[in-house]
């Protein structure tokens, strides 16, 4: 009987001894809950006061449906993320208060890694935002400069024809500049995070950019050269069809040279180019053979008569 009483007393002592720890954990959870509620309301109200919803609607990221924007859900999501993050910060001391080191230690390790990694994420985001802003400014500046120099009058040399939907050189150049500068800053942001996979992606992008730039130059020269040759042929021969054929041949060659420069399925591209070149040659041969038959007969007849006349003169 005494053993039972001793066991019961021991359990009761442990429960009583654990009560302060349990009360401390509950107090910590209560504090965490209060702080989480306050932070959530600050974020939600703050984003609402800054006009975050209107900005999302202006950018076309959300739609206004029945007077209630879907961006409310996004704002609430930010608030909930902050809410759960506050609870996550309080979990290690709560488990420590409950003497559950086996649970609190992994959480502490995870939190330490997150806090060590957070500055890199912040710096990467800042670099990306500033880079995209600079890229947009440079692209707009280049576009405006080219537009002021009336470069658009040369659009006919890079298009298949003059129409309102054709490529505009200032706009296209500004977009290319913005994209290249934006890519450069994006790669720098990836390198700042300093993850092996992201670093390899960034190195691959930077390494491939020269090929893209040279390919774009080849393609642009092909379009310009094709249009110039077509214009010269049309002006000198008056044959619009011949001019168009020459233009498209030059453009096709430049397209295949661009694909080869980009290392895009080189074997397939080379075989396709040879097949197209052979098909064009055969088509020209057949067209000339059929269409130029009467011309060839006339020339051969003239040559034959000239030879006969010369033989008759020699006999005399």
pLDDT reading at 69 higher than 50: no
pLDDT at 308 over 90: no
**% of the chain surpassing 70 pLDDT:** 69
Distance CA 191, CA 200 (A): 9
Distances 270 to 237, 267, 287 between C-alpha atoms, Å: 33, 5, 26
Statement: residue 55 has pLDDT above 80: no
Count of domains observed in the chain: 2
- Asked if 167 contacts 159 with a C-beta cutoff of 8 angstroms, the reply is yes
- Model confidence pTM above 0.85: no
Average pLDDT (286-298) is 59
Task: Please tell me the distance from the alpha carbon of residue 62 to that of residue 45, in angstroms, as a whole number.
Answer: 19
**Last residue of one domain, picked from the residues 58, 73, 99:** 99
294 is a domain residue = yes
- 253: number of Cβ within 10 Å: 17
Which stretch, 6-10, 38-42, 95-99, has highest mean pLDDT?
A: 38-42
Q: What is the pLDDT of residue 68?
A: 47
Q: Record the tokens describing residue 188, joined without a space.
A: 């720098």
For the segment 150-163, the average pLDDT, to the nearest whole number, is 69
Tell me whether residue 298 is in a domain. Answer: yes
pLDDT of 167 reads 75
Residue 136 maps to a domain: no
Domain holding 18, by residue range, is: 1-99
Q: Would you state the pLDDT for residue 73? A: 65
Identify the pLDDT of residue 140.
Answer: 92
Of these ranges, 8-22, 76-90, 103-117, 193-207, the one predicted with the greatest mean pLDDT is 76-90
pLDDT of residue 82 exceeding 90, the answer is no
**Where among 99, 114, 139 does a domain terminate?**
99
Tens of pLDDT, residue by residue over 91-142, are 888 888 887 877 778 877 777 877 788 888 888 889 988 988 999 999 999 9
Residues 58-83, mean pLDDT to the nearest whole number: 64
**Residue of 202 and 294 predicted with greater confidence:** 202
Q: Is pLDDT larger for residue 164 or for residue 168?
A: 168
> What are the DSSP calls for 126-182, one per residue?
HHHHHHHHHHHHHHHHHHHHHHHTTGGGGGGGSSSS--TTSPPHHHHHHHHHHHHHH
Residue 283 lies in a domain: yes
Domain-embedded: residue 114? no
Instruction: Give residue 190's Cα distance to chain centre.
Output: 14
The residue among 63, 78, 99 that closes a domain is 99
Helices (H) and strands (E) in the chain, counts: 9, 2
Is 113 within a domain? no
For residue 57, being part of any structural domain is answered with yes
């Amino acid at each position: 009987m005494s053993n039972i009483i001793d066991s019961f007393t021991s359990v009761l002592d442990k429960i009583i001894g654990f009560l302060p720890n349990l009360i401390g954990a509950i107090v910590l959870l209560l504090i965490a809950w209060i702080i989480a509620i306050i932070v959530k309301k600050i974020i939600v109200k703050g984003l609402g006061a800054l006009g975050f919803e209107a900005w999302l609607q202006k950018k076309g990221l959300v739609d206004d449906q029945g007077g209630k924007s879907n961006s409310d859900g996004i704002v609430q999501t930010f608030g909930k993320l902050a809410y759960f993050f506050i609870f996550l910060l309080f979990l290690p001391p709560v488990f420590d208060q409950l003497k559950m080191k086996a649970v609190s230690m992994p959480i502490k390790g995870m939190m330490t890694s997150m806090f060590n990694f957070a500055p890199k994420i912040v710096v990467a985001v800042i670099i990306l935002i500033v880079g995209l802003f600079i890229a947009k400014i440079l692209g707009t500046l280049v576009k405006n400069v080219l537009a002021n120099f009336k470069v658009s009058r040369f659009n006919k040399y890079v298009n298949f024809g003059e129409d309102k939907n054709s490529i505009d050189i200032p706009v296209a150049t500004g977009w290319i500049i913005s994209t290249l500068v934006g890519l450069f800053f994006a790669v720098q942001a990836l390198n700042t995070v300093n993850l092996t996979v992201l670093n390899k992606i960034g190195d691959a992008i930077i390494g491939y950019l020269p090929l893209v730039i040279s390919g774009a130059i080849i393609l642009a020269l092909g379009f310009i050269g094709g249009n110039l040759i077509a214009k010269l042929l049309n002006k000198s021969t008056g044959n619009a069809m011949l001019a168009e054929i020459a233009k498209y041949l030059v453009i096709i060659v430049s397209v295949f040279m661009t694909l080869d420069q980009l290392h895009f399925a080189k074997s397939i591209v080379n075989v396709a180019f040879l097949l197209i070149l052979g098909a064009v040659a055969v088509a020209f041969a057949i067209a000339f053979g059929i269409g130029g038959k009467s011309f060839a007969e006339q020339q051969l007849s003239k040559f034959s008569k000239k030879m006969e006349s010369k033989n008759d003169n020699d006999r005399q």
